[in-house]
Amino acid sequence: MEKNQSWTTEFASAFKDLSELHRFLGWDHRPGISSVAKAYPLFIPQGLARKIKAEGPDGVLAREFLPHESEIDVSEGLADPIGDKAFLKAPQLIHRYRSRALFTPTSVCPVHCRYCFRKNELDAGHDLFHRDFDRTLAYLSGHPEITELILTGGDPLTLSNDRLRTYLAAFAELGTLKDVRIHTRYPVILPQRLDAGFVDLIEEFGERFRTLSVSVHVNHAREIDGEVRARVGLLRKLPVQLLAQTVLLRGVNDSELALLELMEELISMKIRPYYLHHPDQVKGGLHFYLPLEEGRRLYQTLRDQLPGWALPQYVIDIPEGHGKVGAYNPEAYEFSGRLISRRGDLVEHREPQLHS
Ligand code: SF4
């Protein structure tokens, strides 16, 4: 595949069929995997499939993106681990924290990450947001306390530049939104998405908000190659804040070396590590889970080796709707079994039963 072909062509030619993918990879079809791929469909762009193949069946990219037999074990875990559906206040708009809201204009992604906290909701169809946008705008305009809007999904960069322009223009017109953040996995999965039209869009809207941020979801330095560096480099001189968010994942980046390599790579790309998420207790994704005590010990090693401005915040979404809070406990690694919720209550935290 040509490197400079449009991202939509690469998107359209992504692997969705397990047998085709296995033929391409040249690996054995493991028993039970077909039923996993039926329950949780795969979606892997060809460029990513080439990287997975180069790394091999035991590589971190295979672990992140290929179906695994552990996914079929749904005896533990939650379908909606962070419980944000209760805060849906207008079409595609989740308002949970006073000053910020999430806008989710699509449930379509450039890849299906096997650990995804929305894996029980992801939709392979093009159900892009449509007719009810006026109601979303009306809610935002009636809630001027919302000063930051986070575009997430799915992945908002699945939308065309024109569609994104329509939304950003409407948000800028409101006059109450100071900060806009775009959460996306495209820069590392399908870097061609950072095309000339997107660069124009950032130039156009970077000054219309106090901050415009692109927050790249990236979990391992092996997701980053020359093409990713070059495309992200196109944004560097623009009025945009480049951030990164990472999910701590068993078997992917649960080592000091993997996390440090990733943070250092991000820093050299001028991307600021922003969040390190403790994994969610998602049904079908518990093989990626690790206990909080282990996460805290790893985070401590990062604290010792990174400057404060390059240290991501280690956060956990307390299951069942208690919200996102700091996961690091500087006084003790030993986890007491309770977390302090955003309201200041002590919340019992049950670790899931992990099957090795
Ligand atoms: S890109 Fe994000 S929303 Fe989409 S599958 Fe991956 S983690 Fe989930």
At 104-127, the pLDDT tens digits run 999 899 999 999 988 776 654 545
Q: What percentage of the chain has pLDDT greater than the value 70?
A: 94
More confident residue, 123 or 254: 254
Q: What integer pLDDT is reported at residue 259 of this predicted model?
A: 98
Ligand 1 centroid–CA 216 distance in Å is 11
Nearest C-alpha neighbor of 75 from the set 286, 356, 337: 286
Residues in a beta bridge with 250: none
Q: Check residue 324 and give its pLDDT.
A: 87
Contacts of 68 (CB under 8 A, 6+ apart): 33, 36, 114, 287
pLDDT higher at 245 or 124? 245
Index of the ligand 1 atom closest to the CA of residue 110: 1
Q: Which comes out higher in pLDDT, residue 313 or 30?
A: 313
Residue 181 phi, psi dihedral angles, 5° rounding:
-125, 135
- Specify the residue for token string 């875990």: 77
Measured from the Cα of 122, ligand 1's closest atom is 5
Residues 6+ apart with CB under 8 A from 116: 122, 282, 285
Report the mean per-residue pLDDT for the chain.
90
Q: What is the per-residue pLDDT for 1?
A: 41
Protein residue with its CA nearest to atom 8 in ligand 1: 116
Domain boundaries of the chain, sorted by first residue: 7-72, 84-348
Structural contact between residues 61 and 51, judged by C-beta atoms closer than 8 angstroms: yes
| Paired tokens of 246 | 């990472």
| Ligand 1 geometric centre to CA of 236 (Å) | 24
The CA 217 to ligand 1 mean position distance, Å, reads 9
Identify the CA nearest to 151 among candidates 116, 179, 125: 179
Q: Are 70 and 30 contacting, i.e. CB atoms less than 8 angstroms apart?
A: no
pLDDT of residue 147: 98
State the pLDDT confidence band at 310, using cuts at 50, 70 and 90.
very high
Does pLDDT of 76 surpass 80?
no
CA-closest candidate to residue 166, choices 188, 193, 133: 133
CATH top class, domain 84-348: alpha beta
| Mutational pocket test of ligand 1: of 71, 106, 118, 150, the residue with most ligand atoms within 8 Å of the beta carbon | 118
> In sequence order, which residues have a C-beta less than 8 Å from that of residue 75 and are 6 or more positions away?
353
CA of 188 to the centre of ligand 1 (A): 12
Q: Which of 85-89, 263-267, 289-293 has the highest mean pLDDT?
A: 263-267
CA 213–ligand 1 middle distance (angstroms): 18
Q: How far is the CA of 112 from the centre of ligand 1 (A)?
A: 6
The atom of ligand 1 lying closest to the CA of 153 is 3
Q: Give the model's pLDDT for residue 208.
A: 97
The runs of H, that is alpha helices, within the chain are: 7-12, 18-25, 33-39, 46-55, 60-65, 133-142, 161-174, 186-189, 196-205, 226-233, 256-268, 292-305
Share of the chain above pLDDT 90, in %: 69
Provide the pLDDT for residue 323: 82
- Residue 225: the pLDDT is 97
Q: Which of 151, 185, 283 to mutate to test the pocket of ligand 1 (most atoms within 8 A of CB)?
A: 185
Please give the full DSSP string across 79-100, using - where no structure is assigned. Answer: SSTT-GGGGEEETTEEEEETTE
pLDDT greater than 70 at residue 129: no
Which of 220-229, 274-283, 297-306, 311-320 is the most confident on average?
A: 220-229
Q: Kind and range of the H or E element at 343?
A: none
- 37 pLDDT band (50/70/90 cuts)? confident
CA of 114 to the centre of ligand 1 (A): 9
The set of protein residues with a Cβ atom below 6 angstroms from ligand 1 is 109, 111-113, 116, 118, 122, 153-155, 185, 217
Query: Is 215 a residue whose pLDDT tops 90?
Result: yes
Please check the confidence at residue 2 and state whether its pLDDT lies above 50.
Answer: no
Residue 95 vs residue 75, higher pLDDT: 95
